[in-house]
């Protein structure tokens, strides 16, 4: 049972997040405007009204920037529920729109997927031995006999994940799905601006100390840093350069700077030499303390 719990949980997160979060950011709350039709079933804003959950602000902003991804999650969720209905595993569908229906439908999806993937995929001895040979240097000196059960579990999970992906893909490909791209486009907001590689190079030549946040719009700790960096940039205007670089847009620059985790903040002196780096969220207090060490006041 443990082997399949993670896989089922993953699809539930994708599907239910789309259903509950996507609605939260739609400006016409209460409207019956149709965003998609899934085998004749509407996905409207009104449907989302009973599926709202508490989401932290940074996640909300990311969802508004990429609403299509969460609409896709809603479509997958609807398809699974429709398939469960065909199989007679759908006691909660009659209560759609009533309080608590989201958790009930989640239970339906969980029950359906557990039945659908109740049997663990077979893993051959050859597959275990091949995996062991490939990753032998990472086994900390353990023998094949010692590590075989863990390898079998890893391979089994990968196979089950692929089974689930194929199942969802088949549902998606055979379904009649119409998405209102016009309405979907209206939901999207522009992601926050970030600096370019040229901005970075110019800042290092500016003769002023530089702080660069290497992060991503899809990283919640990075998003939590944005208001702090905005304040610091405003307060130290003319004294220091404060930049934000998206590592996915400028991955070669991120590689050159040896970025391994995001966010990573790198501090450069007025000569463009790195003097300090910090991985993970960094409070304004710590940033200002580092500025003080660098003689920035």
Q: Structural domain boundaries of the chain?
A: 2-118+170-187, 197-293
The crossing angle, in degrees rounded to 10, of helices 2-24 and 57-65 is 80
Of 247, 243, 271, 242, nearest to 257 (Cα)? 247
pLDDT at 7: 46
- Cα–Cα distance between 4 and 182 in angstroms, integer? 38
What are the tens digits of pLDDT across the range 242-255? 999 999 999 999 99
pLDDT along the chain (297 residues), means of 10: 46 47 40 83 69 58 79 90 86 48 75 87 94 91 93 94 94 95 82 90 96 92 92 95 95 94 96 96 96 93
How many Å apart are CA 103 and CA 114, to the nearest integer? 16
Which segments of the chain are extended strands (E)?
Answer: 34-38, 41-44, 177-179, 210-215, 241-246, 264-268, 274-279
Q: Identify the pLDDT of residue 52.
A: 38
Find out whether 211 and 265 touch, Cβ atoms under 8 Å. yes
Q: Which entry of 8, 164, 219, 266 is annotated as an active-site residue?
A: 219
Catalytic residue among 89, 187, 222, 225: 222
Stated pTM of the model: 0.62
What's the confidence (pLDDT) of residue 66?
80
Instruction: Report the CATH number of the 197-293 domain.
Output: 3.40.30.10
Report cis status (omega within 30 of 0) of the bond before 23.
no
Q: Quick one: pLDDT at residue 40?
A: 94
Distances (CA, A) of 273 to 13, 26, 247, 291: 44, 46, 20, 14
Cα 119 from Cα 65, distance rounded (Å): 39
Please tell me what DSSP assigns to residue 137.
Answer: G
Is-catalytic flag, 219? yes
């Amino acid at each position: 049972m443990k082997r399949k719990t993670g896989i089922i949980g993953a699809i539930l997160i994708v599907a239910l997040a789309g259903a509950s979060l996507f609605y939260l950011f739609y400006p016409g709350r209460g409207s019956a405007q149709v965003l998609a039709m899934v085998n004749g079933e509407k996905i409207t804003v009104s449907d989302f009204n009973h599926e709202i959950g508490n989401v932290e602000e940074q996640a909300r902003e990311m969802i508004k920037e990429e609403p299509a991804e969460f609409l896709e999650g809603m479509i997958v969720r609807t398809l699974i529920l429709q398939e469960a209905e065909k199989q007679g595993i759908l006691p909660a569908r009659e209560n759609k729109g009533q309080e608590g229906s989201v958790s009930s439908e989640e239970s339906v999806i969980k029950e359906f997927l557990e039945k659908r993937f109740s049997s663990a995929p077979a893993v051959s001895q050859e597959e275990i031995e091949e995996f062991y040979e490939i990753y032998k240097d990472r086994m900390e000196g353990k023998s094949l006999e010692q590590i075989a059960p863990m390898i079998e579990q890893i391979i089994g999970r990968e196979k089950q994940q692929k089974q689930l992906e194929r199942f969802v893909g088949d549902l998606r490909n055979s379904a009649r799905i119409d998405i209102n791209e016009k309405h979907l486009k209206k939901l999207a907001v522009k992601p926050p601006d970030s600096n370019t590689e040229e901005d970075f190079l110019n800042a290092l030549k500016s003769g002023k100390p530089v702080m660069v946040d290497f992060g991503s719009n899809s990283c919640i700790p990075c998003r939590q840093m944005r208001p702090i960096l905005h304040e610091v940039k405003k307060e130290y205007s003319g004294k220091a350069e404060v930049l934000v670089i998206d590592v996915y847009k400028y991955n070669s620059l991120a590689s050159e700077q040896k970025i391994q985790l995001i966010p990573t903040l790198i501090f450069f002196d007025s000569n463009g030499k790195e003097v300090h780096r910090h991985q993970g969220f960094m409070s304004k207090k710590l940033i200002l303390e580092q500025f003080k060490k660098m003689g920035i006041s």
